[in-house]
Structure 1
Amino acid sequence: MNTPADDHRSYWIDTAPPGPLHPPLESDLTVDVAVVGGGIAGLSTAWELARAGRRVAVLEADRIAAGVTGHTTAKLSVLHTLVYARLRRTRGPEAAKLYARSQTEAVRHAAEIVDELGIDCDWEDTAAFTYARDPAATEELKAEADAAREAGLPAEYVTETGLPFPVAGAVRVTEQAQFHPRKYLLALAEDLVRQGAVIHERTRVVDLDEGRPCTLRTAGGATVRADDVVVATHYPVFDRALLFTRLSPRRELVLTAPIPAGLDPHGMFITPEQGTRSVRTAPYEDGQRLLIVTGEHFTPGTGEVEARFERLAGWATEHFGDLVFTHRWATQDNDSTDSVPLVGPLHAGAQHTYVATGFGGWGMSGGIMAGRLLAQQITGRKSAWSDLYDPRRIRTVVGEAPAFLKNQAKVARHFVGDRLASAAGGSVDDIAPGDGAVVRVGGHRCAVHRDEDGELHAVSARCTHLGCLVAFNSAERTWECPCHGSRFTPDGDIVQGPAVRPLEKRDI
């Protein structure tokens, strides 16, 4: 692949201004609302609440707009692969209409914010497509086009697209958009601070006491008291409702390469075939376009990631010619068992705690929608689609059952099977430079990485979230939990939650 082997930086992070450094929280704080998480859902929620006159604090474990949101493909679309036919079937036509309305309003609201704040974020209006190359999938596509149209979207079934290869069929929805997510969110954060809100980066929240007020505690020892708390950490770091039983984490790989403007397919395209293939472009230097290709979804901690990058690169070059890849990275998403995000009260008894999660790869429109919905709930207003997204919903349990059982079976395999496999694992001597493995050392399972200089780094192999065994991702040099998606550096520091504590170091 024509890209540096160690380059895993997102194009969005590389090409946006670094933004101001927001200081870590070092002393106790009292606000009206504390938002945990500085991605698109958290910042959108905070912005809406500040506009409503609330005193808001955003607490981010790393840097704002640099986590999941900083590694997205940044499509602002209401066409979420094949969601409308499923919603019509499992929750009825009215649910599909509410989903379409809520997502449409989110896309329009983003456009309004861009205009109001004058944000330069490479905004482009375009169409979205869900396509298939297999003729056997055309009936499913026609059903999706019909369901999306019935839900009120400008959807149609087509057989031709701007892609450089024929398709069997596609659903097309016009009046969608694509943008630079980090430029958008840094501008949103700047306006948020202008309104009197505070943002604290490098501030990991590790504990939550619910009450009036709620109390948050950080890894640095500071305390935040707030009338209301929003947990917008992608995968909830506090899960009083056992939402992890209804969420399935997955990673997808992303490649970018400049192409001549004449090769631009003009649209945002996705297919569930081949483990997902997604294509869009963005403005690039010298009049070129930047091709952004996504796919090869897999569960964190499983599979040969480097081989997946090679497959994705091969697919891109097969269809778009000889490419020089400039960036590669991976994005992580959480799928809910019924394909609808979980946005609302954190659990059945919650009065002042809220959550936003389970966006299933569509976090741009979903995060903006969540910000508006949660702000309405916290300020005492009722949204027409509160029930649709309510995390406490039980009416879809029967419809969720197959996905729920599949998810729990996968987790059970890792809880039990990985432990049995590691019991007969290899030794430290078998670990090559740049690689890692879970091995037994002195009767204990250790996650051991050998760096390029031959030095060993050993940590506990048990994820600090719920105790699953981690596995090594040699392409990204991370330990990953296949159960719930937590990720750690070779030395055990947290890269991504829901874990809030690092892996313990081991002396070997």
Structure 2
Amino acid sequence: MRKLDLRTGRTVWSSYRSQRISEEPLTRDFRTDVLVIGMGISGAMTADLLTEAGHGVIMIDRRGPSLGSTRATTALVQFEIDVPLAKLRRTIGTDRATRAWQRARLAVANLRGRIEELQIPCRMKDRPTLYLAGNVLSGSSLRQEAEIRAAAGLSARYLTASELKAGFDLQREGAILSDGNLALDPVKLTSGLLSHARARGAQLFAPEEAVEIRYRREFVEVMTRSGHRIEARYVVLATGYELLDVARNDRHEIISTWAIATRRHPKSKLWPGEGLIWEASDPYLYLRTRHDGRIICGGEDEEFKDEATRDALIPEKTERIVEKLGKLLPAIDPTPEFAWAGSFGTTRTGLPLIGPVPRKPRIFALMGYGGNGITFSRIGAELIRSALAGHEDIDADLFRL
């Protein structure tokens, strides 16, 4: 397993006490229907849907619930994929690209419905999204992107510079306005989903680590750091960007990212509608508000080298993010109260890799989530639920390893 220090610094989600999820040490061998390795947001969504479907679930995590990448996310829950629809159509074909974007939009709607159904208090708010002109798309290219999205049945309206200024007090050449996206608290969401999974019988063991996976025809045998054995009909690898050897894939790469959260601002200082904002740029800036008036802002992504290199760049990257944020929103105070670094996985297409590991159909991997981690986590949970029910999801081919 490739172990990573997934985040460094003080994240904004660590500024309060979250709901305590009861986990316990593994003290004996177990046999179960499904073993989920990872108790972050991907593992929590998977455990929620699988326990609801009647599966027996055991979860293990080498840290504990929400103690990995989940606390580093900025939690902009969007259907927009990192790769523009026009570009993705050229890369994987019009039908497949359109289906990927449409499925992402459905996933956000499904997640909203699930949170409301379970009444999880994760401070979920519906938010529009502004995709600002940048060095990747601007002018006629950005307008064309809006038209392609709208033709595909996706929410998209092109705003001219004057419309953007009048409606949102932002200075850019133009933007695409979309609706149907969310802002939420990822730690509270993960805790809520795990709590419901536990109530349906899921067992959580941490800290515990899978050190060896032995594939058998009828089951999978997982040896743990504590010396115990878990035998499962299926194993789900929801380990974020710490890839187990069995799930190695040359289409997946690790990226470093940096983020800040500002001091609290009065509502009058924030932009109208408090929409999620990101840029058609490389590297791009992305930002949102939190319930307490803080602005969460991140970006400056680059290829991951090692933790020491990533962490040493926190002061420099923080300064750049603060400068960009202050230039975009001159009326606010961009001084950071929190600053952190993290790592995430991505792919060339911007689409995640989800599904059974080649030649090991009882082992499922969820990886390469890019900037749409929470949205793709929901898709992953849905695809695995369908597969274990004995039928393939209609969009499984888009994400297959």
Distance 2:48 2:203 in 1: 11
Q: Partner residue of 1:296?
A: 300
Q: Partner residue of 2:46?
A: 45
Deviations 1:69-92 (A, max 9, x none): 221111111012443112211222
Tell me the secondary structure at the aligned position of residue 283 of structure 1. Answer: coil
CA 1:270 to 1:136, structure 2 compared with 1: closer, same or farther past 3 Å? closer
**1:419-498 equivalence runs, <5 A:** none
Distance 2:246 2:137 in 1: 43
Deviations 1:90-137 (A, max 9, x none): 222221232123212211121112211211111111111221245972
Distance 1:116 1:165 in 2: 36
Deviation at 1:14, TM superposition (A): 2.5
Deviation at 1:186, TM superposition (A): 0.4
Tell me the secondary structure at the aligned position of residue 27 of structure 1. Answer: coil
CA 1:11 to 1:366, structure 2 compared with 1: closer, same or farther past 3 Å? same
Q: Partner residue of 2:324?
A: 315
Distance 2:240 2:136 in 1: 36
Q: Contact conserved, 1:203 with 1:219, CA < 8 A, in 2?
A: yes
Distance 1:107 1:208 in 2: 33
Q: Partner residue of 2:277?
A: 269
Deviations 1:161-198 (A, max 9, x none): 46554111212211211111111110111110000011
Does the alignment pair 1:231 with 2:242? no
Deviations 1:429-477 (A, max 9, x none): xxxxxxxxxxxxxxxxxxxxxxxxxxxxxxxxxxxxxxxxxxxxxxxxx
Please, which runs of 5 or more residues in structure 2 have no aligned partner?
1-7
Distance 2:11 2:22 in 1: 19
Q: Contact conserved, 2:314 with 2:340, CA < 8 A, in 1?
A: no
1:173 to 172, 178, 196: 178
Q: Contact conserved, 1:254 with 1:294, CA < 8 A, in 2?
A: yes
Distance 1:246 1:126 in 2: 32
CA 1:282 to 1:241, structure 2 compared with 1: closer, same or farther past 3 Å? closer
Distance 2:109 2:184 in 1: 13
Q: Partner residue of 2:368?
A: 358
CA 1:218 to 1:197, structure 2 compared with 1: closer, same or farther past 3 Å? same
Does the alignment pair 1:32 with 2:4? no
Tell me the secondary structure at the aligned position of residue 252 of structure 1. Answer: strand
Q: Partner residue of 1:471?
A: none
Aligned residue type for 1:280: R
Tell me the secondary structure at the aligned position of residue 249 of structure 1. Answer: strand
Deviation at 1:207, TM superposition (A): 1.1
Distance 1:210 1:42 in 2: 21
Q: Partner residue of 2:120?
A: 119
Tell me the secondary structure at the aligned position of residue 20 of structure 1. Answer: coil
Q: CA RMSD in A?
A: 2.0
Distance 1:92 1:202 in 2: 44
Deviation at 1:261, TM superposition (A): 0.8
Distance 1:195 1:277 in 2: 40
Please, which runs of 5 or more residues in structure 1 have no aligned partner?
1-6, 392-508
Distance 1:164 1:145 in 2: 21
Deviation at 1:16, TM superposition (A): 4.6
Tell me the secondary structure at the aligned position of residue 372 of structure 1. Answer: helix
Tell me the secondary structure at the aligned position of residue 8 of structure 1. Answer: strand
Q: Contact conserved, 2:83 with 2:349, CA < 8 A, in 1?
A: no
Distance 2:136 2:88 in 1: 23
Q: Partner residue of 2:67?
A: 66
Deviations 1:32-84 (A, max 9, x none): 00011112211111111111111001111112122112211111110124431
CA 1:227 to 1:133, structure 2 compared with 1: closer, same or farther past 3 Å? closer
Deviation at 1:236, TM superposition (A): 5.5
Identity of aligned residues (%): 25
Distance 1:29 1:380 in 2: 24
Q: Partner residue of 2:204?
A: 199
Aligned residue type for 1:322: D
Q: Partner residue of 1:374?
A: 384
Q: Partner residue of 1:344?
A: 355
Larger RCO, structures 1/2 (Cα 8 Å, 6+ apart): 2
Tell me the secondary structure at the aligned position of residue 196 of structure 1. Answer: coil
Does the alignment pair 1:220 with 2:226? yes
**1:15-164 equivalence runs, <5 A:** 15-133=16-134, 137-159=138-160, 160-161=163-164, 164=169
Distance 2:400 2:109 in 1: 23
- Larger CA Rg, structure 1 vs 2: 1
Q: Partner residue of 1:459?
A: none
